[in-house]
Amino acid sequence: MSSRDMVILSYRVNPEDFAKAGDASSNTKKVLKKLGIPSDITRRVAIVTYEAEINITIHSNGGEIIVSIDKAKIEIIARDYGPGIPDIDRAMEKGYSTASDHVREMGFGAGMGLPNMKRCSDEFQIESQKGKGTTVTSTIYIHD
Amino acid sequence: MDNYFHSVVLSEDSCKGCTHCIKRCPTEAIRVRGRKASISGEKCIDCGECIRVCPYHAQKAVTDDLEDIKKYKYRIALVPPVGHGQFDTGTGLGKVLKAVEMLGFDEAYDISPYCDIASAIIKKHYLEEKKITRPAIYSDCPVIIRLIQLRYPDLLENVIPLVSPMEIAARLKKTDIANKKNFRMGDIGVFYLTPCPARVTSVQVPVGISFVYTDGLISIRKIFGSLSKNLRELQSLEKVEGYEFSGRGLKWGTIGGQSHSIGSKNYLAVDGIENVINIFEEVELGKLKKLDFIEAYACTGGCVGGPLLVENAFVAKTRIKHLADITPSPKLIGKEKVKELLDTGLFTWTEEIKPKKMVSLDPNIGKAIQKMEKVEEILEKLPGIDCGSCGAPTCRALAEDIVNGRAREVDCIFRLREKMNEINRG
């Protein structure tokens, strides 16, 4: 088998499955620690992955998270199958949330998910198409 | 074998090469090779889980003996709250201290008043004056500090840099006695009766401080018999007076005691190493920012669950609660006194705590990535049932060991069987 010099982790995220939410980020963190990635980078990746998982769990019809790690950077792609974000600018505002009351009662939906992801990323992109889905791409560079 | 001192050691003669300890170790520090367990000094945090779980008592703690106190001209014993939990509540706190002195100490002191000093400093300086990142973490438990160093280095800024009540007592008493009784510091021996091996490591290889005033640690389990004998001799006495206690401080022996003592309304108290790990994961994700204070202990129940104790943790906990309730608590020292103590510089960490690097697959990230790819390849061939028969705690741990040349694929009995079948089929 040829070496890609890259580790790729992929996780399926199911809608409303709160028992599983958090698995992707905790597993990713374990892998990064085994790779010897500096702890501040690991923490940022864990936060991005965790918020992405929670977003997909709360808001979407399900999706996936793909984490690609090479020696220069870590890229996290969180993709879901809809329903899409109607107003991305508002969604990026701190404290803005469309989460339902029952989700908020569980302690989620504080409106900090996307802003937190952006804050922890070196590069951050979000694309959304109504009805089709949303893709968030976060890149975090590994410094020495 | 390496430069790491640990109080948890393995007696090869007693080890049967079973898998109890490898499965229980929270840092995956143990492997069984050649039917004997061995502990990696790099990964061990001295929690003592292996001591607790070993059916053959092969894992042991290095502690001092009563003989060792004879090296000193003036001998002081420090008795932690959990010490009282080992005896019937009718025994009386004073008699326990007296029984300890009868082992050969000039004086015994109860730690509970010194827990109060720690409570006052945490409450009045670090929390009320907001001198620390929230949630503030204080742990009198040395395992927790090592766990943070190894696995959660980003949380070091949340840790209150205050020495343990054991050291507070040792520092105050040693200086006091040197002045009053005219002894040289080196002639005074301070011994702590310890419920756990981690405390031993904290004295041998201190974290945060460069000089430890506590000179030795004696396992409570080791002296339990002699203490019981001394207590029988004291039975006829009605009450033994002359020692200082604090009901509030006694609670430090059990989980929740610290938070109760500092009067925090917004705290989280967590015990048991696995539970602590789960909570720290949440703190790292920034999920528990609204909390003021986290109290964490590696052992279930707090120090009362220490592996070097005799009494069942839950029985001891009930006893300590009862004793704490019936023992008066002096008022906590005020802000001025707290400031005065802190200004001496004797009670806070003097050394920067450096993160310990988690043992990675390779020091070079690029090489580690290549190795990780190999780990995944090997992992696909392993059964994934984490049986431990190979001597590693999980299939993944075996795959990592194989990649680093520390194990072979046929160490897995399932892979071995497959290989045999292949050979038989020719």
Residue A27 lies in a domain: yes
Residue A70 lies in a domain: yes
* CB-CB contact of A52 with A117 (8 Å): yes
* CB-CB contact of A115 with A94 (8 Å): yes
Residue A98 lies in a domain: yes
Residue A11 lies in a domain: yes
**Contact yes or no for A34 and B372 at CB 8 A:** yes
Distance from CA of B278 to the nearest CA of A (A): 10
Task: Kindly list the residues from chain B whose CB atom is less than 8 angstroms away from the CB atom of residue A5.
Answer: 366, 369-370, 373
Question: Which residues lie below 8 Å from residue B355, measured CB to CB, with a gap of 6+?
Answer: A39, B149, B150, B153, B156
* CB-CB contact of B47 with B26 (8 Å): yes
- Going from the C-alpha of B139 to that of each of B296, B313, B359, the distances in angstroms are 6, 19, 24
C-alpha closest to that of B60 among B13, B103, B3: B13
Given the candidates 3.40.50.970, 3.40.50.1780, 1.10.10.10, 1.10.510.10, the CATH classification of the domain at B66-124+160-252+302-343 is 3.40.50.1780
Range of the domain at A134: 7-141
> For B20-54, what is each residue's pLDDT tens digit?
999 999 989 999 988 889 888 888 888 888 888 88
Distance from CA of B128 to the nearest CA of A (A): 27
CA dihedral B223, B225, B226, B230 (to 10 degrees): 130
DSSP B352-383: PPPPPPP--S-SSHHHHHHHHHHHHHHHHHS-
Distance from CA of B372 to the nearest CA of A (A): 7
Amino acid in position B183: F
Which element (helix H / strand E) includes B178? helix B165-180
The dihedral built from the CA positions of residue A70, A75, A80 and A81, taken in this order, carries a sign that is negative
Question: Which residues lie below 8 Å from residue B35, measured CB to CB, with a gap of 6+?
Answer: B15, B16, B17
Quote the CA–CA distance of B395 and B380 in Å, as a whole number. 10
In CATH, the architecture of B360-426 is: Orthogonal Bundle (1.10)
> For B129-161, what is each residue's pLDDT tens digit?
888 999 999 988 999 998 998 888 889 999 999
Q: Taking a contact as any Cβ pair under 8 Å apart, which residues of chain A between 55 and 114 contact chain B?
A: 69-71
The DSSP code for B127 is: I
Confidence of residue A1 (pLDDT cuts 50, 70, 90): very low
Tell me how many residue pairs between chain A and chain B have CB atoms under 8 A apart: 62
Mean pLDDT of B171-196: 95
Of A10-24, A123-137, B108-122, B146-160, give the range with the top mean pLDDT.
B108-122
Query: Tell me: domain B1-61, CATH 3.30.70.20, correct?
Result: yes
Tally of CB atoms within 10 A around B289: 9
Distance from CA of B150 to the nearest CA of A (A): 10
What chain A residue is nearest to B400 in terms of C-alpha separation? A34
- Strands of B293-297's sheet, edge to edge? B136-138, B293-297, B267-271
* CB-CB contact of A139 with A89 (8 Å): no
Residue A1 lies in a domain: no
- Going from the C-alpha of B20 to that of each of B38, B170, B276, the distances in angstroms are 13, 37, 21
Tokens representing B124? Answer: 């009045």
A35 touches chain B (CB under 8 A): yes
**Residues in chain B whose Cβ is within 8 Å of chain A:** 151-154, 281, 284-286, 355, 357-358, 360-366, 368-370, 372-373, 376-377, 400
Confidence of residue A105 (pLDDT cuts 50, 70, 90): confident
Residue A113 lies in a domain: yes
> For B340-363, what is each residue's pLDDT tens digit?
999 999 999 988 888 777 678 999
Indicate the SS3 state at residue B82: helix
Q: Say whether pLDDT at B3 is over 70.
A: no
The pLDDT, as a whole number, for residue A3 is 59
Task: Kindly list the residues from chain A whose CB atom is less than 8 angstroms away from the CB atom of residue B377.
Answer: 1
In this predicted complex, what is the ipTM? 0.83
What chain B residue is nearest to A25 in terms of C-alpha separation? B285
Mean pLDDT of B400-424: 93
Of B209-213, B247-251, B350-354, give the range with the top mean pLDDT.
B247-251
* CB-CB contact of B379 with B396 (8 Å): yes
Instruction: Determine the length of chain B.
Output: 426
- Look up tokens 């975090």; give the residue: A140
**Can you say how many angstroms the Cα of residue B391 is from the centroid of all Cα atoms in its chain?**
26
> For B257-299, what is each residue's pLDDT tens digit?
999 999 999 999 999 999 999 999 999 888 898 899 999 999 9
**Contact yes or no for A34 and B366 at CB 8 A:** no
Q: Say whether pLDDT at B7 is over 80.
A: no
- Going from the C-alpha of A102 to that of each of A20, A58, A107, A109, B232, the distances in angstroms are 18, 10, 9, 10, 61
Confidence of residue A144 (pLDDT cuts 50, 70, 90): low
- Strands of A73-80's sheet, edge to edge? A7-13, A63-69, A73-80, A133-141, A123-129
Quote the CA–CA distance of B27 and B130 in Å, as a whole number. 33
Question: How many structural domains is chain A composed of?
Answer: 1
Give the CATH number, domain containing residue A132.
3.30.565.10
The pLDDT, as a whole number, for residue B403 is 96
Q: Which of A34, A37, A106 to mutate to test the interface with B (most CBs of B within 10 A)?
A: A34
Measured at the alpha carbon of residue B171, what is the angle toward residues B74 and B208, in degrees to the nearest 5?
130
C-alpha closest to that of B218 among B96, B108, B308, B314: B308
Q: Say whether pLDDT at A107 is over 80.
A: no
More confident residue, A21 or B268: B268
* CB-CB contact of B301 with B271 (8 Å): yes
The pLDDT, as a whole number, for residue B322 is 95
The pLDDT, as a whole number, for residue A52 is 94
Domain range annotation of chain B: 1-61, 66-124+160-252+302-343, 360-426
Confidence of residue A98 (pLDDT cuts 50, 70, 90): confident
Quote the CA–CA distance of B90 and B326 in Å, as a whole number. 12
The pLDDT, as a whole number, for residue B1 is 34
Amino acid in position B360: S
Tell me if the bond preceding B55 is cis, omega within 30° of 0: no
**Contact yes or no for A7 and B286 at CB 8 A:** no
